[in-house]
Structure 1
Amino acid sequence: MKILIDHHQPFLLAHGGFRVQIEQTARALGELGCEVEYLRWWDANQKADLIHFFGRPPSGMAYFAHQKAIPLVISDLLTAQGSRGIWQIRSQCMARSVIEKVMPASLLDRMSWRVYREADAVVALTNWEARLFCQLYGTPKTRLHVVPNGVDEAFFMREETSESVDSSGEYLLCTATITERKRVLELAEAANLAGLRLLICGKPYSFTDRYFQRFLNEVGTPRSVVQYVGEVVDRGEMAALVRAARGFVLLSTMESQSLAALEAAASGVPLLLSDLPWARETFGDHAQYCGSRSTSRELAGHLTKFWHSPVIKPIRPSTWKEVASRLIDVYRSVLP
């Protein structure tokens, strides 16, 4: 089985979970015996049994793939849509229905809504997002599949604590891109107010970003109990940092299914997460939650409660090989 993987965003322009998902999926599929290549748009002679597109494909992609008798599978993240309230989702459904009736086809094609109905399979990370594909874009239920993110096997193994930080005391950990949606600045403010040691790993999309500069100012104050580690590339080192943490905290306003939270869960580290549908579905009663719009002072209270709470062990997530095995089942269901 030869699979071509495609994506619309060059990795050099934006890092994040989608890049990890794509790279780890490709690696795991290869380990399970699939022939995997990244789609070369300039190569008219490239062959494939199936195309797996990560993100929202161009509107005509399903049509042209089908002309070549190549099935199209889509994996997309409904990060913003999946974090909205029920009334916002209903309003969006109504708006889409009206727009599709009155807007010229040439303009509708630019939105690429139709591709979710034309693809041979659409893969969602959670049942919540699968329902949204149906409600918002009209994806047939028979073509929907739910396959979660996976976790690198390094996070399931026991290692020594990383030497890159002072590990003489307990700490909370947050791994995230330093951007407003992740609320890392507000988390740092809350940790300083609560006086609870916090390690933050990650980098911004731009080092000149104003939000990132405000974050640096907060963690750089003499009173700060927050340590900014930066990006940790080595998976073994990151796994050691996670395992040594007292708890993992992620307070995003929008999320699809956090890889960092899954990595913490694989390491058996307690979780404090924003109360969003993806988190409730993924971890249920095996995590603690707080409002995604809480103020820094309110968050300080949540952190203090989390710090002193009895340990709640999270459920075990899937490995990337387990994810790849489920994807192969999806591929076989659409191949002739």
Structure 2
Amino acid sequence: MKVIFSHIIPFSLGDGGVRTLVTSIQNELLAIGINVENEKWWDTEQKGDILHFFGRPQSSHILFAKRAGYKTVMTEFLDMTSNRSPSTLFFQKSAIKLARSLMSGMTDRMGWDTYQNADALIYTTSNELNTAAYLFGADTKRGHIVPHGLQDEAINNLTQPAEEKEHLVSIATITERKQTLLLAKAARLAQVPIVFLGKPYSEDDLYFKEFKECIDNQYVKYPGFVSEKEKADMLRTARGFALMSKYESGCIAVYEAAAAGLPMLLPNKPWVMKDYAAINNVSVTGTNSVQEIASSLKKFYSNAHRSETMTFPVQSWRNVAEKYADIYKEIMET
């Protein structure tokens, strides 16, 4: 069995959790004997059994693949879409229905038929699969929920005991979507020390420059993008984890914090409320203002201490790859 990975956006244009997921799964699939290649769009001789899209392709791409004898899989990240309000989703669903009836060409370009024609659909969270079913009529019988994972070495490092220090940790790309600046301002107002780990999409980004103005090395500390070992050390010695993202698709940083046994302060957004809010040691806060976050942050910090066990179970990327392999085998047999 040979699987070809197809990813629409070059990772050079935006590094982050998706690259970690795709490369980790690819490496682990190779390790368990599944032949995986990246799509060579220029190579007319490239052949395989399964074409695996990361991100939604045009509907015609699925049909062309089937015509060429491929089984097709789509892993999709509906992080932004699945975090919209019920009323917004209703209007979006109505607009899609209208567009399908009046503008058939848009159906292909938007890839809406992919949800019925792909042999398997993979999502990180149930919230995203449910959103795909509601908005696009995704066939849930073809849907699979496969959460994120971490490297075995990372899990081992994060679960080691360590002497607790006074800081919280926040891991995220420094960008407006993650609301890093809002959290930094709240940390200073609440006088709660947070170590921010991550890098911007560009050093010249205005949002990043504004964030750097908040760094005081007392309540807002920024060592930048650090090594995996340094990140694990900072997580293991932290009292807790905080992240204020507007939307996420599971979020690998949350999994890292969970593996370390950290209590978490997360925003009251759908990605949290539908998948994490019921977990012990997960607190939520509104994000309407710096003052609101600061109040929640101060209360959270006063009782935050690392647990001896994971905040929730975290699997390895090998486990994730094995689940992908099971999906491949299942569709090859149908």
Specify if TM > 0.5: yes
1:293 positional shift: 2.8
1:315 positional shift: 0.9
1:303 and 2:297 equivalent? yes
**Are 2:164 and 2:238, in contact at CA under 8 Å, matched by a contact in 1?**
no
Distance in 2 (CA, whole Å) between partners of 1:85 and 1:29 is 37
Paired position in structure 2 for 1:178: 174
CA deviations 1:281-331 (Å, max 9, x no partner) are 443222433345331111111111111126576111221111111111111
1:294 and 2:278 equivalent? no
CA deviations 1:75-97 (Å, max 9, x no partner) are 01101111112222122111111
CA deviations 1:196-226 (Å, max 9, x no partner) are 111001111121111111101111x58x521
Paired position in structure 1 for 2:45: 45
1:73 positional shift: 0.3
Paired position in structure 2 for 1:246: 239
CA deviations 1:268-291 (Å, max 9, x no partner) are 111111123333444322243334
* RMSD over aligned Cα atoms: 2.0
**Are 2:115 and 2:137, in contact at CA under 8 Å, matched by a contact in 1?**
yes
**Are 1:251 and 1:292, in contact at CA under 8 Å, matched by a contact in 2?**
no
**Are 2:247 and 2:271, in contact at CA under 8 Å, matched by a contact in 1?**
no
1:154 positional shift: 2.8
The DSSP-based 3-state class of the residue aligned with 1:61 is helix
1:76 and 2:72 equivalent? no
Distance in 2 (CA, whole Å) between partners of 1:25 and 1:139 is 24
CA deviations 1:19-63 (Å, max 9, x no partner) are 111011111111221111111111111121111111111331110
**Are 1:11 and 1:19, in contact at CA under 8 Å, matched by a contact in 2?**
yes
Distance in 1 (CA, whole Å) between partners of 2:129 and 2:262 is 28
Greater mean deviation of Cα atoms: 77-86 or 180-189: 77-86
**Are 1:154 and 1:236, in contact at CA under 8 Å, matched by a contact in 2?**
no
Q: Aligned residue pairs: how many? A: 327
Q: 1:289 to 1:9 in 2, by over 3 A?
A: same
**Are 2:263 and 2:304, in contact at CA under 8 Å, matched by a contact in 1?**
no
**Are 2:77 and 2:249, in contact at CA under 8 Å, matched by a contact in 1?**
yes
TM-score (structure 2 length as normaliser): 0.92
Paired position in structure 2 for 1:319: 316
Q: 1:98 to 1:289 in 2, by over 3 A?
A: farther
Stretches of structure 2 that go unaligned for 5 or more consecutive residues are none
Distance in 2 (CA, whole Å) between partners of 1:77 and 1:273 is 20
Paired position in structure 2 for 1:164: none
Stretches of structure 1 that go unaligned for 5 or more consecutive residues are 162-166
Which of 241, 263, 278 is the equivalent residue of 1:270? Answer: 263
Q: 1:287 to 1:94 in 2, by over 3 A?
A: farther
List 4+ stretches of structure 1 deviating above 6 A: none
Distance in 2 (CA, whole Å) between partners of 1:169 and 1:246 is 7
1:107 positional shift: 3.0
**Are 2:158 and 2:256, in contact at CA under 8 Å, matched by a contact in 1?**
no
TM-score (structure 1 length as normaliser): 0.92
1:197 and 2:193 equivalent? yes
1:121 and 2:117 equivalent? no
| Identity across the alignment (%) | 34
The DSSP-based 3-state class of the residue aligned with 2:249 is coil
**Are 1:177 and 1:202, in contact at CA under 8 Å, matched by a contact in 2?**
yes
Distance in 1 (CA, whole Å) between partners of 2:158 and 2:146 is 29
Distance in 1 (CA, whole Å) between partners of 2:197 and 2:23 is 20
Greater mean deviation of Cα atoms: 184-193 or 203-212: 203-212
Distance in 2 (CA, whole Å) between partners of 1:292 and 1:208 is 30
